[in-house]
Structure 1
C-alpha cells in the first residue's frame, strides 16, 4: 500500500496558504491597495502589450510587494498580540517591518517606471 501522507500533507499546506492569502486580501487595507495596484498594472501590461521579460519583472515585483506586505502584517499582528499597549521597542520592530515594505514598493515603482515610462511617453 502506497503512503499518501506526503501528498496529503502538501495539499493541506497549500490549503492553509490559500486560506491565509484570502484572509489577508479580505481583512487588511494595505494589501487591498497593493492588490488593486497589481490588477491595474496587469491591465496596463495587456494594454501596452509588454514583452515576456517585462511580464516576468512585473509579476515578480507584484509578488514581492504582496509577500513583504503579508509578512509585515504578520509581524504587526504578533507584536500587537505580545504587547497590546504602546511600547517603543515594539514600535521599532513594526517600523522596521514597514520599512521592508517600503523597499519592495520602491523597487516595484522603479520596475514600473522602466517598463511604462517609454510607452506612456510615446503618446506625447
Structure 2
C-alpha cells in the first residue's frame, strides 16, 4: 500500500471513529437529544420566517457550537469518572467548569436566536 492510500484509509477510519462518537453521544446523552429537538424547531422556524443566508449561517454555527461543546463536556465527564470514579471535589469542579462552558455557549445561542426571531415574531402582530 502506498502512502496516499494509507492516508486516505486513515482518514476514513477517523471519520468512522467520529461517527461512532456521535452515535454514542446520541444514544447516551439526554441533553444532546433536547438540543436536537430545539435545533429542529428553530430550523423549522427559519423556513417559516424565511431567514436570510447570514441568519442561517449564524443559526447553524451556534447549533454546531452548542452540540460540539456538549460532546466535549460529555467526554470530559466520562474521562473524569474513569480516572476518579469516587466523588471528589476537584473532579466535581472540573465537571462543573465543563458544564459551565456548555451553558455559556447555550446562552449565546439563545441570544442569537432571539436577535433573529423576535423582530420576525413582532411583525406577525
TM-score by length of 1: 0.96
What's the TM-score, normalizing by structure 2? 0.95
Q: Is 2:89 aligned against 1:78?
A: no
Runs of at least 5 residues in structure 2 that lack an aligned partner in the other structure: none
User: Which structure shows the bigger proportion of residues in helix conformation?
Assistant: 2
CA deviation after TM superposition for structure 1 residue 57, in Å: 0.1
- Count of residues paired in the alignment: 124
The separation in 2 between residues aligned to 1:9 and 1:35, in whole angstroms, is 30
Does the residue aligned with 1:85 lie in a helix, a strand or coil? coil
Indicate the RMSD between aligned Cα atoms, in angstroms: 1.1
Aligned residue for 2:65? 64
Please give the secondary structure, in 2, of the residue aligned with 1:122: helix
Mapped to 1, the partners of 2:48 and 2:79 lie a distance apart of 41
Please give the residue correspondences for 1:1-124 in structure 2 after superposition, counting only pairs within 5 Å: 2-3=2-3, 4-124=5-125
- Once residues 18 and 122 of structure 1 are traced to their aligned partners in structure 2, the CA distance between those partners, rounded to angstroms, is 41
After the TM superposition, which parts of structure 1 deviate over 3 Å for at least 4 consecutive aligned residues? none
2-structure distance, mates of 1:38, 1:26: 17
After TM superposition, give the deviation of residue 2 of structure 1 in Å. 4.7
Mapped to 1, the partners of 2:116 and 2:49 lie a distance apart of 10
